[in-house]
């Protein structure tokens, strides 16, 4: 479904990604784990075309993304829930969600998508009229995910959805991600919460200093000595 | 008392038209984080457009808005597409130089064509007044200008609040990258914002023509005024710019009557400094982190 081939990227003179190869198949939950600065978020930004790679190709369902603008990538069905939530602070919950289904192709599903996300996140329904910027971190994360779902994603990219949330919320978010996946949305997840994310993943990649150093099924990596030592403190 | 009422009302009416200029500037700033130093010159173009339509085709200045608005919208959109969109990722100094340069080119081109003579339009109603009570009357053309302004502002507000495109403009202003991730074509939103801003400035120019005169350099006065209005109301806030415009109009009008017309700019800047002293982010502005 998504295929990244020898992706290289630098911020100015600083090289951040080295020959990253990554694949996501339809229906999967794939996680990229790694420490801060390993290049996880940068990989997602490259997929969404917010930044442009030095070399290497990204294709989605056979379409080369290299010449596309960010909004055209969304049109293909790749929707990113960015790090730090990035909801529109001076818009209401409803308006934020409407922006999720801004594209004409998804606008006609707006009503049914509203029902879907309010079913997944009943809390958002209670806060319909509230301004995004005045909500708690956990609620904002729900809103950010719900806003992403409003776009009818085929592939949902999530950048650190558990960052800064209370343990209870974290558990809740991971449960919802598995639910969304069961409804047919393929998920590419970037996480520092290694244990939780590997548990729900079909496959995972480990990134260190801009390179993919390890890959395998979620279970394999959970039992991997290197992963245990580096990320799980065991 | 009637003098006070008269100058208060005419201050509000003029301020409404100023607000239109300020709203345009604040819209452009909100979406692109650039200050359009050519804003007054775009207003000047609107004035000359109305002058031409009125003098050579006999179009009523208020009716000319119907042509000036779309023409300035297209012109502004074109400027954005051809020039300003290329500079959005550039350093601030370059953006400032670009819009200042653009303003200079506009005013000098107009001077080349029309010379620096003052131009006015003549209407049958230029000095007609409406009696509000025994002693208080207001200028009829100013009242019409204000009404058109109010209608346009209300329409714009509805557009920004209720339509998908209007909401996308606000989303782009609040978080450009997040807007991109929603599938919003942010460079198109920028074109739309600059087009709308230019159309509002040009329309304000058209509306002022029945009660004032124009010359090629009039823009610089209004760029400064628009900037003061925008900062006063809070950068990026449409409601703030409306409020700011009306406050500036009142300050000018009252100081002209009670001190002297030479002092009206002093009053405006004293008001400006006071607001900044006590609320640096402007009346309705939010401090940015």
The string of pLDDT tens digits covering residues B33-81 is: 999 999 999 999 999 999 999 999 999 999 999 999 999 999 999 999 9
Task: State how far the Cα of A17 lies from the Cα of A54, in Å rounded to an integer.
Answer: 9
pLDDT beneath 50, residues of chain A: none
User: A133-155, pLDDT tens digit by residue?
Assistant: 999 999 999 999 999 999 999 99
Chain B positions touching chain A (beta carbons under 8 Å): 164, 167-168, 170-171, 174-175, 177-186, 286
- Cα dihedral across residues B160, B161, B162, B166: positive or negative: positive
Chain A hits for B286, CB-CB cut-off 8 Å, are 90
Among A93, A55, A58, smallest CA distance to A73 is for: A58
Q: What residues of A are in contact with residue B178 (Cβ under 8 Å)?
A: 82, 86-88
Cα dihedral across residues A126, A130, A136, A140: positive or negative: positive
Helix, strand, coil percent values for chain A (each to nearest 5): 40, 30, 30
Query: CATH classification of A1-77+155-160+187-234 is 3.40.50.1000, yes or no?
Result: no
Inter-chain touch B186–A95, beta carbons under 8 Å = no
Q: What is the mean pLDDT of residues B214-222?
A: 95
If pLDDT is split at 50, 70 and 90, which confidence band does B219 have?
very high
**pLDDT tens, residue by residue, B143-186:** 999 999 999 999 999 999 999 999 999 999 999 999 999 999 99
Give B171's contacts in chain A (Cβ within 8 Å): 88, 91, 99
Which residue is closest to A75 within chain B, CA to CA?
B183
Place of tokens 């990649």: A205
Average predicted confidence (pLDDT) for chain B: 93
Residues of A in Cβ contact (< 8 Å) with B181? 48, 50, 70, 74, 79-80, 82, 86
Task: Identify all chain B residues contacting A100, using CB atoms and an 8 Å cutoff.
Answer: 182
Position B259 in a domain = no
Average pLDDT, chain A: 94
From chain A, the residues in CB contact with B179 under 8 A are 99
Non-local (6+) Cβ contacts of B145 within 8 A are B13, B16, B17, B62, B207, B208, B210, B211
Q: How far is CA B57 from CA A227, B111, B115, B124, B270, in A?
A: 80, 21, 20, 16, 43
Q: Measured between alpha carbons, how far is B70 from B199 in angstroms, rounded to an integer?
A: 7
ipTM of the complex, rounded to two decimals? 0.92
Closest Cβ opposite residue A102 in set B174, B177, B183: B183
> Given an 8 Å threshold on Cβ–Cβ distance, is B177 in contact with A102?
no
Percent of chain A with pLDDT over 90: 84
Are A82 and B186 in contact (CB < 8 Å)?
no
Contact A50 B174 (CB under 8 A): no
Looking at residue A75, what is its pLDDT?
95
A15 has which bridge partners?
A: A10
- On whether residue B274 sits in a domain, the answer given is no
* Cβ pair B174:A88 closer than 8 A: yes
Domain hosting residue B204, numbered range: 2-164+190-224
The three-class DSSP label of residue A204 is strand
Q: Given A71, A88, A90, which is nearest B178 (Cβ)? A: A88
Domain ranges across chain A: 1-77+155-160+187-234
* A156 beta partners: A79, A187
Structural domain contains residue B286: no
Angle, to 10 degrees, between the axis of helix B218-233 and the axis of helix B92-114? 140
Number of independent structural domains in chain B:
1
Q: Is the pLDDT of residue B287 over 70?
A: no
Phi, psi of B287 (to 5 degrees): -70, 135
Tokens 């302004």 sit on residue: B149
pLDDT band at B289 (very low <50, low <70, confident <90, very high): very low
Distant-in-sequence contacts of A193-198, Cβ < 8 A, 24+ apart: A193/A162, A194/A33, A194/A227, A194/A231, A194/A232, A195/A222, A195/A231, A195/A232, A196/A162, A196/A170, A196/A171, A197/A31, A197/A33, A197/A162, A198/A31, A198/A33, A198/A222, A198/A227
CA atoms of A15 and A107, how far apart (whole Å): 39
| Residue whose tokens read 């606000």 | B170
Residue B288's pLDDT is: 55
């Amino acid at each position: 479904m998504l295929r990244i081939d020898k992706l290289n990227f630098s911020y100015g003179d600083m090289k951040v990604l080295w020959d990253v190869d990554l694949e996501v198949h339809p229906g999967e939950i794939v996680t990229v784990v790694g420490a801060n600065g390993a290049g996880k978020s940068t990989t997602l930004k490259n997929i969404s075309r917010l930044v442009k790679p030095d070399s290497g190709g990204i294709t989605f369902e056979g379409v080369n993304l290299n010449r596309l603008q960010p909004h055209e990538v969304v049109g293909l069905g790749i929707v990113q829930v960015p790090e730090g939530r990035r909801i529109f602070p001076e818009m209401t919950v409803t308006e934020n969600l409407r922006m999720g289904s801004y594209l004409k192709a998804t606008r006609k599903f707006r009503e049914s998508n509203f029902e879907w996300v309010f079913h997944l996140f009943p809390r958002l329904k209670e806060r319909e009229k509230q301004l995004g910027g005045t909500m708690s971190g956990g609620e904002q994360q729900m809103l950010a995910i719900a806003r992403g779902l409003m776009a009818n994603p085929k592939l949902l990219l999530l950048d650190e959805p558990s960052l800064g949330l209370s343990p209870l919320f974290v558990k809740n978010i991971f449960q919802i991600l598995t639910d969304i996946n069961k409804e047919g949305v393929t998920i590419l997840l970037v996480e520092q919460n290694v244990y939780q994310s590997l548990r729900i993943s079909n496959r995972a990649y480990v990134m260190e200093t801009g390179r993919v150093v390890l890959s395998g099924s979620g279970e394999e990596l959970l039992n991997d000595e290197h992963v245990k030592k580096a990320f799980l403190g065991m | 008392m009637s003098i006070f009422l008269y100058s208060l009302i005419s201050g509000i009416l003029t301020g409404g038209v100023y607000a239109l200029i300020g709203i345009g500037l604040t819209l452009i700033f909100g979406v692109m984080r650039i200050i359009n130093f050519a804003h007054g010159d775009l207003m000047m173009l609107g004035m000359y457009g109305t002058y031409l339509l009125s003098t050579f085709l006999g179009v009523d200045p208020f009716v000319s808005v119907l042509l000036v608005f779309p023409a300035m919208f297209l012109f502004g959109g074109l400027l954005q597409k051809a020039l300003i969109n290329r500079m959005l990722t550039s350093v601030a100094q370059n953006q400032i130089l670009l819009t200042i340069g653009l303003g200079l080119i506009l005013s000098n081109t107009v001077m080349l064509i029309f010379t620096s003579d003052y131009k006015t339009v003549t209407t049958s109603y230029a000095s007609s007044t409406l009696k509000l009570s025994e002693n208080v009357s207001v200028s009829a053309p100013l009242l019409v200008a204000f009404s058109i302004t109010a209608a346009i502002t209300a329409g714009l507000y509805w557009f920004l609040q209720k339509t998908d495109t209007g909401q996308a403009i606000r989303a782009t202003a609040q978080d450009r990258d997040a807007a991109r991730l929603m599938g919003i074509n942010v460079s198109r939103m920028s074109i739309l914002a600059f087009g709308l801003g230019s159309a509002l400035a040009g329309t304000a120019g058209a509306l002022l023509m029945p009660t004032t005169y124009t010359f090629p350099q009039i823009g610089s006065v209004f760029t400064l005024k628009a900037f003061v209005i925008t900062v006063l109301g809070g950068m990026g806030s449409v409601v703030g710019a409306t409020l700011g415009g009306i406050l500036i109009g009142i300050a000018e009008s009252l100081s002209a009557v009670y001190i002297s017309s030479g002092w009206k700019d002093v009053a405006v800047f004293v008001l400006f400094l006071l607001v900044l002293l006590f609320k640096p982010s402007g009346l309705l502005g939010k401090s940015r982190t």
